[in-house]
Amino acid sequence: MKVVGITGSYGKTTTKEILHLVLSNKFKTIATQKNYNSDIGVANTINEHLGALTDVFIVEMGAYKRGEIEAICDIVKPDISILTSISEQHLALFGNIESTLKAKYEIIENSKPEAIVILNGDDDLVLRIAGKSDKKEFLYSTRKEVDLWVSDIKSKNDNLVFNVHYKDQVKRFEVRILGEHNISNILAATLAALNLGMSLDEIAEALKKGSKTKHIGRITVKKSKFGYKVIDDSYNSNADGFSAALDYLNNFEADKKYLVTIGIIELGDSRQRIYNKLGEEIIKVCDGLITSDQKLVEFVKKYNSKFNIIYDKGIQKQLNFLRNDIKKNDVVLFEGPNLRLIQEIV
Q: Quick one: pLDDT band at residue 93, thresholds 50, 70, 90?
A: low
- The whole-angstrom separation of Cα 295 and Cα 92 is 17
State CA 202 to chain mean position distance. Answer: 24
Q: How many domains does the chain have?
A: 2
49 and 94 co-located in one domain: yes
Count of all residues that appear for the chain in the document: 346
Would you call 128 exposed, middle or buried from its count of C-beta atoms within 10 A (0-12, 13-18, 19+)?
middle
Q: Mind listing the pLDDT tens digit for each residue in 128-163?
A: 999 999 999 999 999 999 999 999 999 887 899 999
* Global pTM value: 0.90
pLDDT at res. 89 = 63
* Residue-wise DSSP of 250-267: HTS--S-EEEEE---SS-
Do 151 and 162 meet the contact criterion of CB atoms below 8 Å apart? yes
Higher pLDDT: 292 or 89? It is 292
Least confident of 45-54, 84-93, 199-208, 278-287: 84-93
Question: Where is the domain boundary, 213, 228, 257?
Answer: 213
188 and 289 co-located in one domain: no
Secondary structure letter of residue 90 according to DSSP: G
176 and 68 co-located in one domain: yes
Domain enclosing residue 281, as ranges: 220-345
Question: Where is the domain boundary, 189, 213, 237?
Answer: 213
Mean pLDDT estimate for the chain: 94
124 and 237 co-located in one domain: no
Q: What is the average per-residue pLDDT within 41-57?
A: 95
Secondary structure letter of residue 63 according to DSSP: -
- The whole-angstrom separation of Cα 255 and Cα 252 is 10
Q: Is the dihedral of CA 283, 284, 288, 290 positive or negative?
A: negative
- Percent of the chain at pLDDT > 70 equals 98
Question: Where is the domain boundary, 196, 213, 230?
Answer: 213
* Residue-wise DSSP of 190-225: HHHHHHTT--HHHHHHHHHHHHHHS--SS-EEEE-T
Least confident of 62-76, 80-94, 109-123, 298-312: 80-94
